[in-house]
A and B are shown apart, each in its own frame.
Chain A
Amino acid sequence: QVRLVQSGAEVRRPGASVKVSCKASGYTFSDSHIHWVRQAPGQGLEWMGWINPNSGGTKYAQNFQGRITVTRDTSITTVYMELNSLRSDDTAVYYCATVSGGYWHFDYWGQGTLVTVSS
């Protein structure tokens, strides 16, 4: 079965960076784009960007341009999301999710990673 397993909770100071991982299994890694979505406390879902694991090509939401980098390591079927210049309003649960080839919806989700930004 498809599984997306994310790294554990992180605490960072304002201005620091965080890198969250998403280990994929149970399907052909190159067959699905992997997206990142976050949810701040009491707020809605916010789409951040995606990566094509096959080509490494990426697309980011305008709100995160210049601060986000999504990469992948095909040898270990893992995708990484790095967010720089953290602010307190980046405190959120970060999710990875797949969009299977030929489809246009998020079908499988990771368990989420809480990132807390606090001085």
Chain B
Amino acid sequence: QSALTQPASVSGSPGQSITISCTGTGSDLFGYNYVSWFQVHPGKAPKLMIYEVSNRPSGVSNRFSGSKSGNTASLTISGLQAEDEADYYCSSHTSDIIWLFGGGTRLTVL
């Protein structure tokens, strides 16, 4: 059974950088480097922040970056701002075209 595991929470002060990890388990995850990250503010629809591990959609701040090493993908936010406070989810899919989300990470800007 494939799964994506994220830390429940991270925090940082304005201006600092933070990194959220997303570890995949299961033999058919991450095989094609299709990890994406979403930002979710309360009461709002998810917003795509990173796709294919490290690509930023048009309009997303370059303070957001993604990377991957082995079976762990990471989202880094630099120059933290108050509006970055939100929940963040990683996502990927299996070879059976089943999609998965990580459990989500609550980012608190102190």
Number of A-B residue pairs, CB cutoff 8 Å, is 62
Judging by beta carbons under 8 Å apart, are B46 and A45 in contact?
Answer: yes
Contact with B along A95-119 (1 / 0, CB 8 A): 1010000011111011110000000
Is B38 touching A61 in the complex (CB atoms < 8 A)?
no
Could you write out 18 A-B pairs with CB less than 8 Å apart?
Answer: A37-B101, A44-B103, A45-B40, A45-B89, A45-B104, A47-B100, A50-B99, A61-B98, A62-B98, A95-B45, A95-B46, A103-B52, A104-B32, A104-B34, A104-B51, A104-B93, A105-B52, A107-B48
> Does A106 contact B93, Cβ atoms closer than 8 Å?
no
| Closest A residue to B87 using CB positions | A44
Q: A50 to B100, alpha carbons, bound, how many Å?
A: 12
| A106 contacts B48, C-beta separation under 8 Å | yes
Q: Is B110 an interface residue (CB 8 A)?
A: no
Footprint of B on A, CB under 8 Å? 35, 37, 39, 44-47, 50, 59, 61-62, 95, 97, 103-107, 109-112
Measured between beta carbons, the chain B residues less than 8 angstroms from A112 are 45
Give the distance to chain B from A32, nearest Cβ to Cβ, in Å. 14
Interchain CB contact under 8 A, B101 and A45: yes
Q: List chain B residues, Cβ under 8 A from A37.
A: 46, 101
- B contact residues vs A (CB 8 Å cutoff): 32, 34, 36, 38, 40, 45-48, 51-52, 57, 87, 89, 91, 93, 96-104
Note all chain A residues with C-beta closer than 8 A to B46. 37, 45, 95, 97, 106, 109
Of chain A, the residue at the smallest CB distance from B97 is A59
Contacting pair A35 B99 (CB below 8 A): yes
Which of chain A's residues has its CB closest to B50's CB? Answer: A105
Cβ-defined contact, B99 with A44, below 8 A: no
Whole-angstrom distance from the CB of B23 to the nearest CB of chain A?
Answer: 15
In the complex, the answer to whether A106 meets B91 with C-beta atoms within 8 Å is: yes
